[in-house]
Amino acid sequence: MIKFEKVNKIYPPNTVALDNVSFEIGPKEFVCLVGKSGAGKTTLLKLLMAEENPSSGKVFLGSQDVQAISHKHLPELRRKIGAIFQDYRLLPSKTAYENVAYAMEVIGASDQEIARDVADVLDIVGLKEKACNFPAQLSGGERQRVAIARALIHRPEVILADEPTGNLDPYNTLDIIRLLLKINEFGTTVVLSTHNKEAVNSLAKRAITLSEGKIIRDEKIGRFIL
């Protein structure tokens, strides 16, 4: 499903973000990327989404070499990947429904498809009753649920969650983690990048630990012990 093969990423003039990183993630896995800020977690996710290119090595999604995909076909790749971020990245002038619908509008989905699919994903994330609320009318946890609904709308093969609980209190953090587990149970591969020790230790899922751009541990039942 996901494969990093001897990947290095160096930012000018000589900042090493990733150092000879190799690992594989299988279909339907739930994997935590663990490490302190600056460990290389976000860089790794950007390479997978083809937002940046490796300095050397290869990144694969399925059989596709991500960096070999032409600019024209990048939207097809990115529809296979749902991305969730710490800062939600919602459009403040649009309701929860409209934020999710917009992701379908930009690819030319019909009004009928939008109405059906947006209602479905808002129901999955528990926000059916808040569809008409604007982001400012939602709590932090609810905003992140809208962001997760938006990430799910194209039925991606992979969800990449980059510090999705970084702005949330412990109660809402647990809520979002449970939702990601639910999504994983549907058969979606989930990659959770986090420095939240409690979340990682409670999940008891595979954890790949990064430090200064290197993988220092890859454990089937991971622990946060940095």
Q: Which amino acid is at 103?
A: A
pLDDT for position 71: 87
Residue 135, in any domain of the structure = yes
Its sign, for the CA torsion 222, 224, 195, 180, is: positive
pLDDT for position 224: 63
Residue 85, in any domain of the structure = no
179 shares its domain with 70: yes
Residue 86, in any domain of the structure = no
104 shares its domain with 213: no
33 shares its domain with 75: yes
Cα atoms found within 13 Å of the Cα of residue 201, Cβ hemisphere only = 7
Residue 4, in any domain of the structure = yes
What gap in Å lies between CA 69 and CA 63, rounded to an integer? 11
Domain that holds residue 110: 91-147
173 shares its domain with 199: yes
pTM score, two decimals?
0.92
Residue 106, in any domain of the structure = yes
Residue 14, in any domain of the structure = yes
14 shares its domain with 63: yes
The DSSP annotation for 50-71 comes to: TSS--SEEEEEETTEEGGGS-G
Residue given tokens 């209190």 in the structure block:
169
pLDDT (tens, 9 = 90+) of the chain, 226 residues, equals 899 999 999 999 999 999 999 999 999 999 999 998 889 999 999 999 999 999 999 999 999 999 999 988 888 888 899 999 999 999 999 999 999 999 999 889 999 999 999 999 999 999 999 999 999 999 999 999 999 999 999 999 999 999 999 889 988 999 999 999 999 999 999 999 998 888 888 898 999 999 999 999 999 987 666 5
128 shares its domain with 184: no
**CATH classification at residue 69:** 3.40.50.300
Q: Which amino acid is at 47?
A: L
> In this structure, how many other beta carbons lie within 10 angstroms of the beta carbon of residue 76?
10
Angle at 102 between CA 185 and CA 184, to 5 degrees: 5
Pairing mode, if any, of strands 214-219 and 206-211? antiparallel
Domain total in the chain: 2
163 shares its domain with 142: no
194 shares its domain with 121: no
124 shares its domain with 179: no
